[in-house]
């Protein structure tokens, strides 16, 4: 803890610290809750940013400052109350930057949002509200004052993710290929179809927007959406990213790393509620092709996640933090099962969306 306390001291706004607790849910960054002594003072979230993955920390934090500043201004213009609970605020370190480099790692501190929760299991009601909010966020970001940097190039580019998988297969670094050949073959069968968004983009038929990752949202005690808490991957991308990635977790009846595949099903009620809310608030700016492809987006993200987990497994677990041997393979199978379930539900998704228009 001594080291962490030294780091916290680099952010002068933080008062006397009572306790620092590790929070364990993220797969990429290390996160701590910093509780302060003074009950009047906010608590904080301290993060060590994974700079193997986020290699350009200046760009990363700059994107986040642009986006949070823009949202804050809009909320103020709308005379919103309680703004500190609705948009994140990152503290300046002694040199004025919103991060601190200790010679080894990069650290940042944001204000902890009180009386908030992340929802483990979303209900149709909270999904509907999330969908509404998600469209609102995209609309708010439509006129973000500057072009954001592409923080992880090709992050949600399916062609690129397939290329990574194929490289992993060709190299077979950890000698695990023979064990997973079946699932590699199954994934390859659908690769062309799943790369369609990238092709349409190249042909000028699909636009890219500035996208947040709304799948990491905070809700208040009543289940209303407060705020987006994972802004690391805000960058130009398809609107499908948030739509698909939200459903990848929310509409999965099992866990992301579920071992019992019978538990992994695609929850249509969650899909319907989310799509209804989203289309209500986003309809004004969505193109017909985007609307038509929303069911595809619901299949793309479990598919892409399966590809990413599988590539990492074949590479010997170099990207995602794992809790046990074989964890990435368990994740792969669970995501692939979810993909199959979502794919089977596409006709029903299409009918439902047609009925909303
Ligand atoms: C990573 O750690 P988390 O949940 O914010 C990953 C996402 C994956 C997700 C899978 C930068 O995000 O793309 O969808 O794990 N983030 C990065 O749970 O790779
Ligand atoms: Mg996250």
Highest-pLDDT range among 7-16, 74-83, 110-119, 150-159: 7-16
Q: For the CA atoms of the chain, what is the radius of gyration?
A: 21
Q: Which alpha helices (DSSP H) does 172-205 contain, by range?
A: 177-194, 196-202
Share of the chain above pLDDT 90, in %: 76
pLDDT in tens, 50-96: 999 999 999 999 999 999 999 999 999 999 999 989 999 999 999 99
Rounded to 10 degrees, the C-alpha dihedral 304/148/215/328 comes to 40
pLDDT in tens, 124-170: 998 998 899 888 888 888 888 888 899 999 999 999 999 999 999 99
Place of tokens 């130009």: 236
Q: What pLDDT, on a 0 to 100 scale, did the predictor assign at position 115?
A: 87
- Which ligand is closest in space to the CA of residue 28? 1
Does 348 contact ligand 1 (Cβ within 6 A)? no
Does 230 contact ligand 1 (Cβ within 6 A)? yes
Whether 57 and 152 have beta carbons less than 8 Å apart is answered as: no
Buried residues in 25-43 as b, exposed as e (16+ CB within 10 A): eeebbbebebebeeeeebb
Q: What pLDDT, on a 0 to 100 scale, did the predictor assign at position 1?
A: 53
Compute the distance from residue 28 Cα to the ligand 1 centre, in Å.
7
Q: What is the mean pLDDT of the chain?
A: 93
Q: What pLDDT, on a 0 to 100 scale, did the predictor assign at position 286?
A: 92
Buried residues in 94-126 as b, exposed as e (16+ CB within 10 A): eeebbbbeeeeebbbbbbbbeeeeebeebebeb
Q: What pLDDT, on a 0 to 100 scale, did the predictor assign at position 352?
A: 98
Q: What pLDDT, on a 0 to 100 scale, did the predictor assign at position 215?
A: 64
Asked whether residue 223 carries a pLDDT value surpassing 60, the answer given is yes
Pick the atom of ligand 1 nearest to 245's CA.
14
Pick the atom of ligand 1 nearest to 28's CA.
2
Does 154 contact ligand 1 (Cβ within 6 A)? no
């Amino acid at each position: 803890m001594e080291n962490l306390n030294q780091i916290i001291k680099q952010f002068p706004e933080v008062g006397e610290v009572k306790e620092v607790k590790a929070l364990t849910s993220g797969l990429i960054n290390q996160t701590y809750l910093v509780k302060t002594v003074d009950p009047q003072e906010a608590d904080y979230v301290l993060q060590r940013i994974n700079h193997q993955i986020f290699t350009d920390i200046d760009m990363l934090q700059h994107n986040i400052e642009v986006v949070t500043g823009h949202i804050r201004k809009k909320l103020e213009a709308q005379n919103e109350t309680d703004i500190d609970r609705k948009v994140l605020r990152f503290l300046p370190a002694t040199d004025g930057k919103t991060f601190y480099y200790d010679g080894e790692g990069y650290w940042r501190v944001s204000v902890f949002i009180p009386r908030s929760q992340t929802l483990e299991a979303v209900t149709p009601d909270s999904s509907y509200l999330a969908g509404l909010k998600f469209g609102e966020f995209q609309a708010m970001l439509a006129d973000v004052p500057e072009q954001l940097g592409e923080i992880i190039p090709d992050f949600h580019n399916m062609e690129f993710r397939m290329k990574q998988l194929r490289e992993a297969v060709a190299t077979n670094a950890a000698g695990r290929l023979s064990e997973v050949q079946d699932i590699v073959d199954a994934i390859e069968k659908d690769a062309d179809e799943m790369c369609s968004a990238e092709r349409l983009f190249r042909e000028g038929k699909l636009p890219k927007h500035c996208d947040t990752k709304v799948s990491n949202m905070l809700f208040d005690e009543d289940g209303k959406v407060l705020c987006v808490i994972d802004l690391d991957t805000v960058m130009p991308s398809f609107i499908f990213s948030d739509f698909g990635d939200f459903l990848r977790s929310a509409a999965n009846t099992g866990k992301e790393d579920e071992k019992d595949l019978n538990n992994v099903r695609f929850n249509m009620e969650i899909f319907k509620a989310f799509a209804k809310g989203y289309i209500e608030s986003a309809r004004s700016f969505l193109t017909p092709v985007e609307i038509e492809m929303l069911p595809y987006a619901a299949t793309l993200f479990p598919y892409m996640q399966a590809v990413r987990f599988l590539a990492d497994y074949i590479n010997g677990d170099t990207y995602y933090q794992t809790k046990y041997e074989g964890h990435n393979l368990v994740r792969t199978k669970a995501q692939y099962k979810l993909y199959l379930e979502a794919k089977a539900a596409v006709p029903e998704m299409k009918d439902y969306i047609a009925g909303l228009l």
